[in-house]
Structure 1
Amino acid sequence: MSLWTHRDFVPLWIGHTASQLASFAAQVTLPLVAVTSLGASAGQLGVLRAVEQLPVLLFSLLVGVLVDRWRSRTVVVVADLGRALVFASVPLGVGLGLPFLYVAGFVAGVFTVCFDVACMAALPHLVARDQLAQGNSMLETAKSAAQISGPAIGGGLVSLLTAPIAVLASAVLFAVSSLSVSRIRSRSSSGIPATGLVQQIGEGLRIVRRDASLRAIAAATCAYQFSFTALTTIYLLFLSRTLDLPSAVVGLVLASFGPGVLVGSLLSAWLPRRFGYGRVMVFAALISDMVMLVTSTLHGSGAASIAALIVINVLYGALSQAVDVAVTAVRQMVTPLAVQGRVVATINFLGMGLTPFGALLGGAVAGAAGVRTALLAATAGLFLSPLCLTRLRRSLAE
């Protein structure tokens, strides 16, 4: 059965697509409100970005429990309705200055955590086990397309209108998402008791710790997020200072990840059917990391280096996205429905919790040992992730 005719998946896909488009557009429009309307400095922009990300660490585990207590559909609907109201308030509240924008960014970040956990936990409740790969592929393809087009739409709207008015486009899209997901008719829910919040958070942590497959996924996620954050911290310095690329070329090189991610999303349903989940997770991750290693060998700002960077980024984006979708599908398959929310939240919390340390270490190593050496070390660290996934592959084969 094609998921395009699935009565509950299609509203989820439409809502997910609208929500992702709104999110990526807001990554451009909200900072531009701070810059163009409020004269924010680089440091103040950094604060805005930090308060948007802080809810991941503060609320992920709590949200996991709420998703398992309530219908995941309900959490998605409330989350995007909340984000719609937050972004609709920006044109009215911008006169209050940067403190208002910080609060808006933080509240939107809380709702984003709710959406991310609930949306990932919803799919196993709606589709059959053998449809998870297809469903994740379709959702990730939509997200990849939004990642490419959302910033362009946001920037275009700012140039046509003003930044505060352009933010309203995200409010409308979040409202569309909320309305679409509310049409899901499935009544499935985990129904865990509404007591013992701390115990239920602890249960999610224990399930991940005790299950060999989930433990391997959590370890691989932590290794990847830590190393990749260090890599991205160093990468921009490598492009602009070591290779001395012009700003426009740096933008082109960074944008080349997008098409690769889109290709990887499109292939991610077919690859596990052809090669199996274990091979896709391990070997696609190894190949993508080996491709990225080539980056540290490049020199100069000539056409050959630029072309090589674009090819590397497209390949890396495609392969790493295929790995991500495969790992997500396996996690959904091995996780009981009653704890989907808490397992998603626990793994997100552990992985994202390490990203600030990865960024700090990447910058420190670049300053102490040089940008090229730091880039090589961060890329080498990526290989820890497929090493962890080899244990998952063995457990799948048993």
Structure 2
Amino acid sequence: MIEEAVARAFRDEWGQVVATLIRVTGDWDLAEECAQDAFATALERWRRDGVPDRPGAWLTTTARNRAMDRLRRDAVGAAKLREVAAMSYEPAVADDSAVPDDRLRLMFTCCHPALALEARVALTLRTLAGLSTAEIARAFLVNEQTMSKRLTRAKQKIKNAAIPYRVPPAHLLPERTPAVLAVLYLLFNEGYSASAGADLVRRNLSAEAIRLARVLVHLMPAEPEVFGLLALMLLHDARSAARLDPAGVLIPLEEQDRTRWEADKIAEGIAILDEVLPRRQAGPYQIQAAIAACHATAKTAADTDWAQIAGLYHRLSLIAPTPVVTLNRAVAIGMAEGPEAGLLLVDELAEALAGYHLLAATRADLLRRAGRDAEAVAAYREALGQAPTDAERAFLTRRIEEIGH
């Protein structure tokens, strides 16, 4: 179907088309609008003419032509028009910076220190990955209107402050690394566990995050957290194939068929950790990767070292204290010391994570393990009303049916 071909091209080509147009035109809104127009045109033209051999080149050409039309109507765009007209459809010739990919150039530009951290992450996810405002809002646990305002302010600040679209010199790259890593991890998470819709897993997004992380490892070999993030994503991604049953229902970690986990990704993730942890500069991503490694190396669910995982979450909470970290620690404590111990921590998060479906789902699971079935069903129903994906809703419904209330 043409719709599927366009959707696939959007996943594969959006970031490159937008990044290239921004590099040439210097206009973020124009780049996004022309890219959107190109994909809309593809729906019509490809249905009539067939899918081109090189969808990315076709989309770049169409977006470029639309940009030329827009710039022709703008007297101040005359100089830029010449640059757009000369734009190559092939990958750009490498500049003298250390960043070898247009998408990474855009990522580091989005992560300019003049922007607030959340604005950098959100802007990059919107511009580079093509995530909708609603998807980004869910990733940040805010409403769509709030996120829309943040994106508008970020773009306005880039314009007003005349922040250049360029790569900083190599010695300044580390100061932008935390925001870049946050971008990659949110991008991965949106692929590994989609924030909404029928599909829990969107493998193209997680694959793109891993690809960009590999580039960063080569780009910044002295930054241990870059290695930690790559290891973390590989260890999580290794379990993707086992997360859904044939009907598309979520399978919890303890019930997954571990023979379906990808051994090569687990081995690579462990090898990366073995290389970087001896540097004794463990940050949040390395600690999370160590937690993932505990799960990945347990032969069975019963073999999981929950006490060690709880200890790692405690360490993580000291350097990156967030309600979600505390929620995950509560799960580990509940598994290591008993569900009632975990519930004590979960109940403390009622205000901080109000409306977050995983809070209700976690509480429901601990109540189920504690034998408090009636309360568990009520919590599962609360989570069911908040769950953003069909796969999660199907899983929660199954849990309610299993308890039989």
Same fold, TM-score > 0.5, yes or no: no
Flag the structure with more relative contact order, 1 or 2, with Cα contacts below 8 A and sequence separation at least 6: 1
Q: Name whichever structure is richer in helix by fraction.
A: 1
| Greater radius of gyration (CA) | 2
TM-score, scaled to structure 1: 0.31
TM-score, scaled to structure 2: 0.30
